[in-house]
Amino acid sequence: MRILNAGCGDDRYGTDFVDSYKGKRKDVLVRDLDKDKLPYPSGTFDEVYSRYTLSYLKNPENFLKESYRVLKKGGSLKLIVPNAGFYGIFTSNYHGGYDKSTNYRVRTYSIYTKYIMKNWLEVGGFSKMSIKTGFEKSSSPRLSYKLHSIAFRLLGLLSERLRPDIIVIGVK
């Protein structure tokens, strides 16, 4: 099974890796996901995975159409994006600044709702999709993160707006 992790950062999930910056990893191909074609032939991947990358793109249409193109028939796009409802309650300042590991400027351009994600996936060519709110696990071993995770999961039982992530799966 071949999996493209687009906007991977330091994440090791997948078999192929593309990001907007090289960082310290030698296995990451650098491409501008806002405007470049992904450097793979059509129908290459069983899955394209992207965690929070869509929020940093000025042109998500390019990325979504390219993801669709490089997927095999029956392949899936899995996106994790920030839930606008959640961040509207808990903060008005979602992400910005620098990634300290790479000194790369991080700018957020969008946060999403389930309905907006449905619209974007349709623009990308996807007609079969699953979109839900949730709490995507992190590999962070920090105790503070684990406590936040438990608290947000409990809050999420009360309302979809209290779940920080939107988990999207589109099938080609």
Please report where in the chains the tokens 């509207």 appear, as a residue: 88
Residue 163's nearest CA partner among 171, 153, 151 is: 153
Residues 6 or more apart whose CB falls under 8 angstroms from that of 165 comprise 80, 81, 82, 83, 86, 133, 134, 135, 136
pLDDT value at position 105?
58
Pairing state between β 97-99 and 104-106: antiparallel
pLDDT value at position 33?
95
CATH architecture, domain defined by 3-83+94-137+165-171: 3-Layer(aba) Sandwich (3.40)
pLDDT value at position 115?
93
pLDDT value at position 69?
98
pTM summary value? 0.80
Domain residue spans of the chain: 3-83+94-137+165-171
- Spell out the per-residue pLDDT of the chain, length 172, in tens: 999 999 988 889 999 999 987 777 889 999 999 999 999 999 999 999 999 899 889 999 999 999 999 999 999 999 999 888 776 655 555 555 545 555 555 677 788 889 999 999 999 999 999 998 876 655 444 444 455 555 555 554 555 556 678 899 999 9
Q: Among the residues of the chain, which ranges form H helices?
A: 60-70, 84-90, 114-124, 143-156
